[in-house]
Amino acid sequence: MVKVGIDGGGSFLKFCLNLIKTDDSSRSEPVQKRLKYSEGAFQGKFIDSGVKKLLLIAITEDVKESYDNVNPILDLLKLDRVEFMSAFDLKLANVYLGIGTHSSTYPCPWCETAKKDFSNPNRQIKLRTLGMIRENAAKFQDEKKRHRSKNLSAAAYKSCIHEPLAKNLPDDTLVIDLLPVMELHLLLGITNRLYNHADTILSAVEGTTYSAKDWSDQLGIRRPPLHSGEVNGNQCKRLLDNISILKTLLEDANTGAPGQKVFNTFEKFNLLRKACFGMICDENYQQAIVDFQLAYSELHISVTSKCHAAFDHIHEFLERQRRPQEDPIRGLGFWSEQASEAVHSDFSALWHQHYKRDRSHANYGKFLLKAVVTL
């Protein structure tokens, strides 16, 4: 399987590729044998989906993740000639599909559910196809030409703005078969969402100075001032593995029912993470989704795009990807976008320590290429 990741980070927009074996083991196992010089120093030591086996196939500095920027680079790479599975975050998924941002009326890449209905227990899920997006985007562009307005809303067209960048795939292609559910960004978004809600509950206790920071501080976790102060993937896992500290904190602060509900939601989300965010799924992962959704609904807070993806699209995606006689089935980790995210820090360190040049430098391109080859 060819996995392609596109992501901006560290001032560079990067296009990445992994080649992954899809045999019964779901990965290429490290091989212990005498290495040949021609095979490289690290042959057989890293899993196919990891950052150490990632190929950087395109890179550009100070370019935003936008439809107009991604489109010509994909054309140059000619990836439409290759069948690949994407490893995008939610923002890039919408860019790739040509639909609006996650503040749009219909922000979900996989279905046409309105954002206001994410919390509706009676919501009906209508999956998007590339043909549906193409048709709505064409209508929107026609309407835009007539109105000549830069700010025309695409809500009447299910937030479809541009033709999807999967240009050679047929109209009946379901997006759920094209774009995997992003386990890393669900982990990040949901954990940080619940953390913020726990902080709101703790901070509301009169006469005390409790906050969720008391929890993360005990684990040596510092929320960064950038990126909305969100903790990273490893920090999210550490928080979830230590929710007992949060429970004690909530009890000491006498937060009552609200505190119990947010702890219960954290607990159910951690069970969901363990059930299907790894390389294989627990046989009860579907029940873990139901339990998390029920616990989250008790919080009476808005349902984000990432929560909606967990509630409505994890099961659908995994079951549609199930191979004949596969047991247990592969988890979201098999399609993870983590390598495309991790490459940012690796490349940034290499670039700043050895190769960084101003773009006006005569040999800027030469040193950028050296950094890519060295990575």
The length of the chain in residues reads: 375
In this prediction, residue 275 carries a pLDDT of 98
Determine the 3-state secondary structure of 20 from DSSP. coil
In this prediction, residue 341 carries a pLDDT of 84
pTM of the model: 0.88
In this prediction, residue 27 carries a pLDDT of 43
- Among the residue ranges 14-18, 32-36, 255-259, the one predicted with the least confidence is 32-36
Pairing of strands 85-86, 2-9: parallel
Other Cβ atoms within 10 Å of 146 Cβ, number: 8
Nearest Cα neighbor of 307 from 78, 113, 177, 130 is: 113
- In angstroms, the CA 109 to CA 106 distance is 8
pLDDT at 178 over 80: yes
193 phi, psi to nearest 5 deg: -65, -45
- In angstroms, the CA 22 to CA 18 distance is 12
- In angstroms, the CA 125 to CA 139 distance is 22
pLDDT at 359 over 80: yes
Nearest Cα neighbor of 9 from 172, 184, 167 is: 184
* Confidence class for position 30, pLDDT limits 50, 70, 90: very low
In this prediction, residue 52 carries a pLDDT of 54
Instruction: Give tens-digit pLDDT for 59-68.
Output: 999 999 999 9
pLDDT at 325 over 60: yes
In this prediction, residue 37 carries a pLDDT of 30
In this prediction, residue 223 carries a pLDDT of 84
18 phi, psi to nearest 5 deg: -125, 140
- Token couple for 201: 């509950």
pLDDT at 366 over 90: yes
In this prediction, residue 235 carries a pLDDT of 95
- Among the residue ranges 75-79, 212-216, 281-285, 325-329, the one predicted with the least confidence is 325-329
Count Cα atoms within 13 angstroms, Cβ side, for 45.
9
In this prediction, residue 357 carries a pLDDT of 94
* Confidence class for position 36, pLDDT limits 50, 70, 90: very low
In this prediction, residue 42 carries a pLDDT of 34
Instruction: Give tens-digit pLDDT for 106-146.
Output: 999 999 999 999 999 999 999 999 999 999 999 999 999 88
Count Cα atoms within 13 angstroms, Cβ side, for 199.
12
pLDDT at 33 over 50: no
pLDDT above 70 covers a percentage of the chain that reads 91
Find the angle CA(342)-CA(344)-CA(346) to the nearest 5 degrees.
80
In this prediction, residue 221 carries a pLDDT of 95
Distance linking the first and last C-alpha atoms of the chain: 22
Instruction: Give tens-digit pLDDT for 186-240.
Output: 999 999 999 999 999 999 999 889 999 999 999 999 887 755 678 999 999 999 9
pLDDT (mean) for 349-375: 94
In this prediction, residue 25 carries a pLDDT of 45
Instruction: Give tens-digit pLDDT for 275-301.
Output: 999 999 999 999 999 999 999 999 999
The mean of the pLDDT values for the chain is: 90
Q: Which class for 237: exposed (0-12), middle (13-18), buried (19 or more C-beta within 10 A)?
A: middle
